[in-house]
């Protein structure tokens, strides 16, 4: 069986969280290479296409009389490559002017058994193989072409490309009963419902088979054969009862089960999807958060503009933090299996995130642990959660150690489970610093799209080491912690009483990201002056939490270290919400429920603040904020400033006024303990964030 690219298992590992990731970096450079290409098969590349001149033909007749034509699908008598190419759909027939050799140029297909378990094994279900180079400007349809010698064509086959769910359009049961499995395998119709993608950064990585991203993408309605296509809205309706364009959450209605009246949709579903719609006041996409921890993902979803309908976790301290921050969400303190099996719990949210436990998938985890079996079961429960909730789009994050060859079977089984339910999925190892996190954290992230939905790409990076090509420089530790210099009193930020080192450690330059990843134990990071630990609030801020997120219930550093950074979640879910808006025909800004009332500007502490309002949102932007010069504090004390607290550009920027009907004036000064800005003079307990002792205060 072919082996898809995974990390090689080549050495022993030390069970230290950060060292695990450093060692994994070594293994990342040793992804399994593509075995030598067959002399009868050559994958297309931009370089190959530029060599010599070729002439195109519509037909070629072999010496044995077999006529090969453009558009024909042929089975190969000598499968080659990795995964094995067993079928070719001829897109062109070329003749090299120099060698005078004819080649069949087309799309390559494999059977499910060639994909190492990531797809269900169904008789005569085949998968289009697409290897693309990110530096190649050509579309994937061209990059996927391979050249095969005409002598390798064994027989013509029928191929049905469809977006319909299995088992529609497969061979007839009567054929199987009468002629048997062997005949169906050799002569029955083939069905393609999925494409398997590998993405590469540059020709050398493509030649060495070192992909940077993978995808298993369901055939879309647009790309299906006319005879075998099904409308997207029919597929969505059959899978999850339809959808509400623009989001299924409406205030006071929760996440109601969405419906689409198929009889009222005129013509193809895509025609309906591009017609703009008018949003109802307060309408947003609904979201759920599984394995929610202290609420990092829930906070990021909220800040991206989604409404968190429910969150679930089994750890008591984390649940306490969830309940203190998300009073308007349904919080479940229970095991995920109980949640799945409880028939009285029934949600249909647009967005779902999954963060199953990851310790067992560490490359340093070489000896069986007492919770390994439970954690494996919890991982596979993710597919059952997706089946229960049936989100339009889901995300899953894990340690990138899961791509290690040791866990190949487990990971492929996970992808297999999503494909069983008709989901498209893409995955890659993401450097979170590229999206603004001030630490060298890397995670495996999976994005999935439900039946009838298009698979979103990953968001484009926002930051880079050089800060070139229109990207921002990496966020430094000093920049990230700048807002805390104005904190007067906070239960989780008391530098004067935090643990001091008997022997000071080596100071480090704060004008760069953290030197180490934040872990559930707090990691090896310490304050840059070398005299003390970071406070819990400093760690939370460096982990991407807004400083008003409330941690309670004990084990605060562990809660912080276990969290998926909300600042990263915000970037990803803003991207996913924008993607769904485009699919739904929503122009959220131009269809805001109330007209613009701003901008207004004010000067505070020599900083120019622009306040822009549109619809149900208000944006505060610091026009003059710059990163201060890096320096080490001599004693680690907190600076006290009696002037108004200003939000740093990296902190809260958008606040909703969901109670506004568009006619009343927004107060000139706004007090809020959350992104949900209601104009209250005191924080309200029902609001999802902050506490009365330390609210976020914004004055214009």
Catalytic residues: 358
**Are 286 and 349 within 8 A, CB to CB?**
yes
Q: Can you tell me which residue has the tokens 């007067």?
A: 488
Q: Which run of H or E residues covers position 582? A: helix 566-584
Strand partners, 386: none
Name the token pair of 488. 């007067």
| Burial status of residue 172 (CB atoms within 10 A of its CB: 0-12, 13-18, 19 or more) | exposed
Q: Which run of H or E residues covers position 76? A: strand 73-80
Largest Cα separation within the chain, whole Å, is 91
DSSP state of 655: E
Strand partners, 148: 41, 104
> Using CA atoms, how far apart are residues 46 and 133, in angstroms rounded to an integer?
9
Question: Helix, strand, or coil here: 545?
Answer: coil
Burial 548-572 (b: 16+ CB within 10 A, else e): bbbbbbebbbbbbbbbbbbbbbbbb
Q: Can you give 396-453 as a three-state secondary structure string?
A: EEECHHHHEHHHHHHHHHHHHHHHHCCCEEEEEEEEHHHHCCCCCCEEEEEEEECCCC
Name the token pair of 634. 């001599």
Q: Give the Cβ contact number of residue 696 at 10 Å.
A: 23
Q: Give the Cβ contact number of residue 353 at 10 Å.
A: 27
> Using CA atoms, how far apart are residues 436 and 23, in angstroms rounded to an integer?
24
Question: Helix, strand, or coil here: 485?
Answer: helix
> Using CA atoms, how far apart are residues 609 and 648, in angstroms rounded to an integer?
11
> Using CA atoms, how far apart are residues 321 and 552, in angstroms rounded to an integer?
5
Pairing of strands 249-250, 153-157: unpaired
Name the token pair of 27. 């293994």
**Are 248 and 350 within 8 A, CB to CB?**
yes
Q: Which residues contact 344 (CB under 8 A, 6 or more apart)?
A: none
> Using CA atoms, how far apart are residues 206 and 157, in angstroms rounded to an integer?
30
Q: How far, CA to CA in Å, does 630 sit from each of 19, 22, 437, 511?
A: 27, 27, 18, 5
């Amino acid at each position: 069986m072919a082996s898809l690219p995974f990390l090689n298992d080549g050495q022993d590992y030390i069970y230290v969280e950060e060292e695990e990731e450093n060692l994994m970096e070594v293994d990342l450079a040793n992804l399994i290479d593509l075995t030598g290409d067959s002399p009868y098969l050559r994958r297309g590349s931009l370089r190959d296409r530029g060599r010599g001149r070729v002439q195109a033909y519509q037909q070629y007749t072999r010496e044995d009389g077999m006529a090969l034509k453009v558009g024909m699908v042929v089975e190969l008598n000598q499968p080659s490559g990795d995964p094995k190419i067993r079928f070719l759909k001829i897109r062109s027939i070329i003749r090299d002017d120099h060698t005078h050799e004819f080649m069949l140029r087309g799309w390559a297909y494999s059977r499910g058994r060639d994909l190492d378990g990531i797809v269900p094994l169904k008789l005569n279900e085949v998968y289009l193989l697409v290897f693309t180079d990110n530096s190649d400007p050509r579309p994937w349809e061209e990059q996927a072409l391979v050249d095969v010698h005409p002598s390798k064509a064994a027989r013509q086959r029928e191929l049905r490309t469809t977006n319909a769910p299995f088992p529609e359009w497969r061979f007839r049961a009567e054929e199987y009963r009468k002629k048997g499995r062997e005949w169906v395998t050799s002569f029955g119709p083939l069905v393609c419902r999925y494409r398997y993608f590998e993405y590469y950064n540059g020709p050398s990585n493509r030649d060495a088979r070192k992909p940077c991203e993978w995808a298993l993408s369901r055939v879309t309605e647009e790309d299906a054969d006319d005879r075998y296509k099904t409308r997207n809205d029919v597929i969505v309706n059959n899978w999850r009862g339809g959808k509400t364009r623009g989001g299924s959450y409406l205030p006071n209605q929760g996440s109601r089960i969405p419906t689409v009246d198929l009889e009222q949709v005129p013509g193809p579903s895509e025609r309906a999807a591009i017609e703009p719609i008018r949003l109802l006041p307060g309408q947003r996409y609904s979201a759920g958060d599984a394995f929610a921890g202290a609420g990092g993902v829930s906070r990021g979803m909220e800040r991206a503009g989604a409404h968190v309908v429910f969150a679930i976790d089994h750890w008591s301290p984390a649940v306490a933090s969830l309940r203190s921050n998300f009073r308007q969400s349904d919080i479940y303190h229970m095991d995920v299996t109980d949640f799945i099996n409880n028939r009285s719990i029934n949600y249909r949210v647009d967005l779902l995130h999954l963060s199953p436990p990851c310790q067992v998938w560490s490359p340093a985890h070489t000896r069986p642990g007492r919770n390994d079996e439970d954690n494996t079961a919890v991982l596979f429960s993710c597919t059952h959660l997706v089946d229960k909730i049936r989100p339009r789009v889901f995300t899953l994050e894990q340690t990138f150690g899961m791509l290690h060859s040791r866990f190949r079977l487990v990971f492929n089984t996970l992808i297999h489970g999503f494909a069983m339910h008709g989901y498209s999925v893409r995955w890659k190892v993401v450097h979170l610093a590229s999206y603004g996190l001030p630490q060298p954290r890397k995670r495996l992230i999976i994005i999935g799209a439900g039946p009838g939905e298009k698979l979103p790409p990953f968001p484009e990076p926002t930051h880079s080491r050089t800060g070139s090509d229109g990207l921002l420089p990496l966020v430094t530790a000093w920049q990230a912690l700048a807002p805390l210099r104005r904190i007067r009193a906070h239960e989780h930020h008391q530098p004067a009483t935090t643990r001091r080192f008997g022997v000071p450690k080596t100071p480090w330059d704060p004008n760069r990201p953290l030197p180490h990843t934040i872990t559930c134990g707090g990691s090896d990071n310490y304050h840059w002056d070398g005299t003390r630990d970071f406070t819990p609030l400093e760690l939370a801020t460096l982990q991407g939490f807004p400083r008003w997120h409330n941690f309670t219930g004990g084990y605060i550093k562990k809660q912080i270290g276990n969290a998926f950074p909300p600042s990263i979640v915000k970037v990803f879910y803003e991207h996913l919400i924008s993607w769904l808006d485009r699919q739904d025909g929503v122009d959220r800004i131009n269809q805001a429920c109330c007209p613009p009332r701003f901008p207004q500007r004010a000067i505070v502490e020599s900083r120019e603040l622009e306040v822009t309002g549109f619809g149900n949102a208000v944006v505060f932007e610091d026009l003059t904020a710059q990163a201060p010069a890096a320096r080490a504090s001599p004693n680690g004390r907190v600076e006290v400033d009696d002037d108004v607290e200003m939000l740093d550009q990296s902190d809260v920027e958008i606040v909703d006024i969901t109670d506004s009907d568009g006619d009343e004036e927004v107060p000139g000064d706004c007090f809020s303990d959350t992104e949900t800005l209601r104009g209250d003079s005191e924080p309200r307990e029902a609001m999802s964030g902050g506490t009365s002792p330390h609210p976020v205060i914004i004055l214009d």
